[in-house]
Amino acid sequence: GAGVSQSPSNKVTEKGKDVELRCDPISGHTALYWYRQSLGQGLEFLIYFQGNSAPDKSGLPSDRFSAERTGGSVSTLTIQRTQQEDSAVYLCASSFPDRVRGYTFGSGTRLTVV
Amino acid sequence: SQQGEEDPQALSIQEGENATMNCSYKTSINNLQWYRQNSGRGLVHLILIRSNEREKHSGRLRVTLDTSKKSSSLLITASRAADTASYFCATDKGAGGQNFVFGPGTRLSVLP
């Protein structure tokens, strides 16, 4: 597609429920990243996928968070047993592997845990 | 602690004035990028500067990099109300890691 597409754009969930966030990167971008941004804060790195290599999961805050990328394209970020502190905007970005043209970000999913 | 930190945290100027934002980082880098974010949503890539470059221009944007001081600056000339946004610098981690690390950002307000 023309840009990075994320869905849903907004998600309100009850504490304890599981949620799935989807990211559809730009065609041809082999690198895909998930970041989290709390209100008024900077971006917190979560996970990075590059081609068929093992993902860099070093930023995932707990084992309730997981992500997969099927077929080297669409990625799903799953948060199990959501907590109120999970409330944030979850941003997905993709890039060419050399990254020199920068990341292209999606518009994000605003997650609110009530 | 942050790899990159922007300064100031917030900046308010009049339309037509220049805006300068600074970024400091701690470890050696290969690349440094600047992004703009409107309304707390997706970031837009503005410019990338490599560690062997000292200055780059793109339209009204001018970015400098001083690797000896581990700092970069973003200058927006002849600012417009539409430049109102948050601006982030992002640094890679040199020899380690594939992801870029973002600072907390500078909130720029351009008053008409």
Q: How far apart are CA A49 and CA B47, in angstroms?
A: 23
Q: What is the pLDDT of residue B2?
A: 46
Pairwise pLDDT comparison (B96 vs B54), residue with the higher score: B54
Mean pLDDT, all residues of chain A: 92
Question: Of A114, A103, A89, nearest to A33 (Cα)?
Answer: A103
What pLDDT shows up at residue B1?
40
Residue A101: list chain B partners with CB under 8 A: 45, 48
Tokens for A36?
């989290």
Contacts of A89 in chain B (CB under 8 A): 40-41
Average pLDDT over residues A25-46: 90
User: Which residue among B41, B92, B102 sits closest to A43, beta carbon to beta carbon?
Assistant: B102
Within 8 A by CB and 6+ apart from B9, the residues are B104, B105, B106, B107
**How far does the CA of residue A7 sit from the closest CA of chain B (Å)?**
13
Q: What is the pLDDT of residues B55-67, one digit of tens each?
A: 999 999 999 999 9
With an 8 Å Cβ cutoff, are B42 and A31 in contact? no
Q: What is the pLDDT of residue A102?
A: 82
From chain A, pick out residues whose CB is under 8 angstroms from the CB of B35: 102-103, 105
- The phi, psi pair for B99, rounded to 5°, reads -95, 155
- Chain-centroid distance of CA B79 in Å reads 15
